[in-house]
Amino acid sequence: MPNLSQSTQSLKTEAQRLGFEVSGCAPANSPSTFPEFQQWLQKKFHGEMGYMETRKEAYSDPDFVMENSVSVMMLAMPYQTQQPVTDSPLTGRIARYAWGQMDYHDLIHKRLKELCRHAQNIFPDARMRGVVDTAPLLEREFARSAGIGWAAKNTMLINKQIGSYFFLAAVLIDQPLEWDEAFEAFHCGTCTACIDACPTDAFVEPHVLDANKCISYLTIEHRSPIAVELRPQMQNWILGCDICQEVCPWNGKAPLATEPAFQPLPGHNALSLSELFELSDDAFRARFRKTPLWRPKRRGILRNAAIALGNEAHPESIKPLSLGINDSEPLVRGASAWALRQIQHADSISALAEREKVETDAYVLSEIKGRYR
pLDDT, tens digit, for every residue of 231-280? 999 999 999 999 999 999 999 988 999 999 999 988 889 999 999 999 99
- 3-state class (DSSP) for residue 91: strand
Segment (H or E) for 157: strand 157-158
What pLDDT shows up at residue 277? 96
d(Cα 132, Cα 113) in Å, to the nearest integer? 12
Return d(Cα 82, Cα 79) in angstroms, integer.
10
Q: Please say if the pLDDT value at position 371 is more than 70.
A: yes
Alpha-carbon distance 356 to 181, whole Å?
A: 63
Distance CA 85, CA 99 (A): 12
- State the DSSP code for 60: G
Residues in the chain: 373
The answer to whether the CB of 323 falls within 8 A of the CB of 277 is yes
Measured in whole angstroms, the distance separating CA 289 from the mean position of its chain's CA atoms is 17
User: What is residue 267's predicted lDDT score, i.e. its pLDDT?
Assistant: 86
Cβ contact 93:238 at 8 Å: yes
Tell me the pLDDT band of 373, cut-offs 50, 70 and 90: low
Among this protein's residues, is 133 annotated catalytic? yes
Mean predicted confidence (pLDDT) in 107-115: 97
The single residue of 61, 133, 347, 361 carrying the catalytic annotation is 133
pLDDT of residue 191: 97
pLDDT tens digit sequence for 57-91: 999 999 999 999 999 999 999 999 999 988 788 99
pLDDT tens per residue, range 299-358 = 999 999 999 999 999 999 999 999 999 999 999 999 999 999 999 899 999 999 999 999
| Predicted model pTM | 0.95
